[in-house]
Structure 1
Amino acid sequence: METAGGLPSGFWYLWTGTLINRIGSFVLILLSVYLTHERGFTPTFAGLVIGLWGAGGALGTLVGGVLADRWGRKPTYLTFLYSSSALMLALGFAHSALLVAVTVFLLGMAAEGSRPAMSALMIDIVGPHERLRAFSLNYWVINLGFAFSAIAAGALANVDYLLIFIVDAVSTAAAATVVAIKVRDTHRGTRGQRTPRPAAGGSLLSVFADRVFLGFFACNLLLALVFMQHISTLPLAMTGDGLSTGTYGLVIAINGILIVAGQLFVPRLLRHVPRAHALALGAVLVGVGFALTAFAGAAWFYAISVVIWTLGEMADAPSKSALLADLSPSWMRGRYQGASSLAWSMASFGAPIIGAAVQQHLGNATLWLGCLVVSLLVAAGHLLMGPARERRAVELRAAELAAAASSSANPRLVPAA
């Protein structure tokens, strides 16, 4: 009960939708293999296409974040998710290089555009003191789905690659339908409303003018560039050592399995750990795990490296999500979530290109040891910027409590969330 009890029913319906969606999320896992082995495109083109997913996602997260605040969390989430389902199916039938590239760009935009609205919806539903637990549970179910899909994707591809697109599209539509029926919108948008918010700020540009957030964003971007190597250069390194794509699927599934086994205990372990320390620890473990890949040659050694960077991911992800929630004004949660997600979209675009270039021209050892250097810089950044972030979180919470009290005294003011 301490781990899962007491959370609102709306959270659990979001959780269920995420589970359905992630169990069927096959396409991105095998996209590079599909494009090269099944369709005969060059590895360079496959890297470009995966980068286009990230480029589309970068645009999608910004648009999705703004719409979540102005139009509403739920309609934004459903629009992007249903669009993602349709585009997933279209990609399975796309044949020309141009059509594949355009469809992947639009699919990245739709898939990533739903995330800010979903995160903002969850923050609205769950109280401040329960958010670390809620984000841990959500992260747990994401990886439960990933552990299943990483193994099932290979099995479906052995039968027919088209199946991975069909099942992915169906599961995405089913997830959207659960939310459409069971989750009420918590935020109708700010257009035309009188809200107790500051006269200054409120635009997407004001998010990127927030120096505290920019430091947070920079750390996330750098660590994401390291982490995204697991779906870009890691499979190339493993196949280069003579290991099969099936072995890669099994090894990378350890990531999801370990998170499923241990993530529910993370909130209790981190309860009394300062967030800056938890984030720094996570970055160090991610760096060490990827650095060990430089010395790997057998599946068991790759598996050990995955275990270590997964432990770092388990410390980093929920702490980061809870911190972002505390740094986001309620009327700008969508924008802050979208701006934060932009780091991952940029990494999705940049990591395959940068990683492949380093791997090809400087070698595997330089790539993986470079990941350690970047991760250590991120850890130092979290420690240096931690106090300023916590001060901002306290100030923002006090300001919103004062605004809520003011709106209660003046019923003509309607809170945005």
Structure 2
Amino acid sequence: MRAAAQHERRASAAPRRWLADTAGGLPATFWYLWAGLLINRAGAFAMLFLSLYLTAARGASESLAGVVVGAYGAGGAAGVLLGGVLADRWGRRSTLVAAHLATAALMVALALSQQLGVIALLALLVGVTHSMPSPAFVAAIVDVVPEHRRSRAFNLQFWAFNLGMAVASLLAGLLAEASYVALFLVDAAATLATAVLIAWKVPETLAHRSARPPAQPEAARPAGRQPRRPGLHTALADRHFLAFVGLTFVLAVLTMQASTIMPLAMRADGLGPSAYGVVVALGGVLIVLGQLFVPRLIDHHRKAHVLALSTALLAIGFGALAVADDLAFYLGACVVWTVGSMLAAPPNAQINADLAPPALRARYQSVFYLAFPAASFVAPTLGGFSLQQWGNGHWLLVGALGLLAAGGHLLAGPPRERRVAALRQATAAPIEPSLTAREV
């Protein structure tokens, strides 16, 4: 009896230990940010149906709908840069609240607007305000979470983002069947709820007394020229950081094959939209169920090695589609590339945070996030051409690109780690307070 009781206690204690290791030790501010991100993503579904809304409800042609959706994407590229600059100069909380309030107002305006020119302008502005919170969210997380817990925090952030998107996809279909206007209004309400939560519970995390970053990398500054004050150009001149962003861009291009080129390949194999939906749903389910177990798998492994493995898995998964011809094969390949995406999320975010000087965290985040709108343009543009010209050979090219990027992570890892160590040492050294007003 005593042995059985001890076994039962150990069995009940195991889930508690796992939960504490996965989500313990994180400050309350992080959880409010996490909740805000989850609410925002769960309600951010209107723009998923923008092209259908324009063609079905507003009588736009497919080409015009494409232009309006493209305007939304262009606004997103501008928004991440603007959000990064404002988050470093104005503050994380102020940027988050202002961006969400502006998005809520623009969503209401979109719901009520009927002229296509006005809708196009509003879509451009929504693209800006939708993207502004991304660098501020991550910078605030880095501000408040101790370094040894950031991998857990970023893993939970990635999980919340995907869980929210899964909920959004489900709700969007139901609301779109009922009313497109309701789609925009519910999105606005969720965005407003996020703004209220952040304004109520999240304090400003930007410390104006944080360490001043290096003015400009020595290799990028001509001899005899005075160092420039830190700003967005500092991130754009940081070769270690730009190498990392370039590798992340390749990872994003690989990931976006699933939503841009794979549907075309599945149609060519005689598989309909429902089959594509099953593959996408499998990826979402795997992330929601398995992402919380990732930190314990990658702990005590060098980040460059984890990213090399994750990128290689993406390469293998998509490269295998060169011989795919039925749904079962697509599902198996989806498992491989989804595991790669799951492994990549925590170290990707953590390296980005490690490379950023404290006073430029949000600016670095904004440059990092530019990789994703760039990939969303390159993946379908070049991918469609490649698939048309070489057929299944396209997937072999994608696989080769991914394997090259995996090797790039192995080569870039050691010098990047030395750079991070030097930055930590410089940040820990006693220096004068940074300026409260910073140049862009």
Deviates more, 1:228-237 or 1:66-75: 228-237
User: Is the 8 Å Cα contact of residues 26 and 149 (structure 1) preserved in structure 2?
Assistant: yes
Residues 291 and 127 of structure 1: CA distance in aligned 2, closer, same or farther (over 3 Å): same
Distance 2:21 2:125 in 1: 41
Residues 376 and 19 of structure 1: CA distance in aligned 2, closer, same or farther (over 3 Å): same
Residues 377 and 27 of structure 1: CA distance in aligned 2, closer, same or farther (over 3 Å): farther
Distance 2:51 2:269 in 1: 18
Q: CA deviation at 1:174?
A: 1.2
Distance 1:105 1:47 in 2: 13
- Give the alignment's TM-score, normalised by structure 1: 0.87
User: Is the 8 Å Cα contact of residues 58 and 116 (structure 2) preserved in structure 1?
Assistant: no
Residues 222 and 39 of structure 1: CA distance in aligned 2, closer, same or farther (over 3 Å): farther
Distance 2:423 2:261 in 1: 41
Distance 2:390 2:109 in 1: 37
Aligned to 1:169: 188
Greater C-alpha Rg: 2
Q: Residues 366-385 of structure 1: matches in 2 within 5 Å?
A: 366-385=393-412
Q: Residues 325-344 of structure 1: matches in 2 within 5 Å?
A: 325-344=353-372
Distance 2:53 2:390 in 1: 25
- Deviation readout 1:155-189 (Å, 9 max, x if unpaired): 3333333333232222122122111110100116x
User: Is the 8 Å Cα contact of residues 147 and 254 (structure 1) preserved in structure 2?
Assistant: no
Residues 91 and 300 of structure 1: CA distance in aligned 2, closer, same or farther (over 3 Å): farther
Aligned to 2:203: 184
Work out whether 1:279 is the aligned partner of 2:307.
yes
Distance 2:194 2:187 in 1: 11
Letter of the aligned partner of 1:286 in structure 2? L
Residues 291 and 260 of structure 1: CA distance in aligned 2, closer, same or farther (over 3 Å): same
Aligned to 1:251: 279
Q: Residues 82-101 of structure 1: matches in 2 within 5 Å?
A: 82-101=101-120
Letter of the aligned partner of 1:327 in structure 2? L
User: Is the 8 Å Cα contact of residues 211 and 358 (structure 2) preserved in structure 1?
Assistant: no
Aligned to 1:410: none
Aligned to 2:6: none
Q: CA deviation at 1:36?
A: 5.5
Distance 1:288 1:47 in 2: 32
Distance 1:3 1:378 in 2: 29
Q: CA deviation at 1:109?
A: 1.4
Task: Say which structure, 1 or 2, has more relative contact order (CA 8 Å, 6+ apart).
Answer: 1
Aligned to 1:160: 179
Work out whether 1:316 is the aligned partner of 2:344.
yes
**Matched position secondary structure for 2:25:** coil
Letter of the aligned partner of 1:225 in structure 2? V
Letter of the aligned partner of 1:270 in structure 2? I
**Matched position secondary structure for 2:301:** coil
Work out whether 1:292 is the aligned partner of 2:320.
yes
Aligned to 2:428: 401
Q: CA deviation at 1:96?
A: 5.0
- Give the alignment's TM-score, normalised by structure 2: 0.83
**Matched position secondary structure for 1:362:** helix
Aligned to 2:419: 392
Aligned to 1:70: 89
Aligned to 2:98: 79
Aligned to 2:223: none
User: Is the 8 Å Cα contact of residues 61 and 339 (structure 1) preserved in structure 2?
Assistant: yes
Deviates more, 1:5-14 or 1:223-232: 223-232
Distance 2:395 2:351 in 1: 28
- Deviation readout 1:78-111 (Å, 9 max, x if unpaired): 1112222233343445555544433332222111
RMSD of aligned Cα (Å)? 2.7
Letter of the aligned partner of 2:409 in structure 1? H
Distance 2:248 2:269 in 1: 30
Q: CA deviation at 1:211?
A: 0.6
- Deviation readout 1:59-92 (Å, 9 max, x if unpaired): 1111111111111111111111222223334344
Deviates more, 1:46-55 or 1:317-326: 46-55
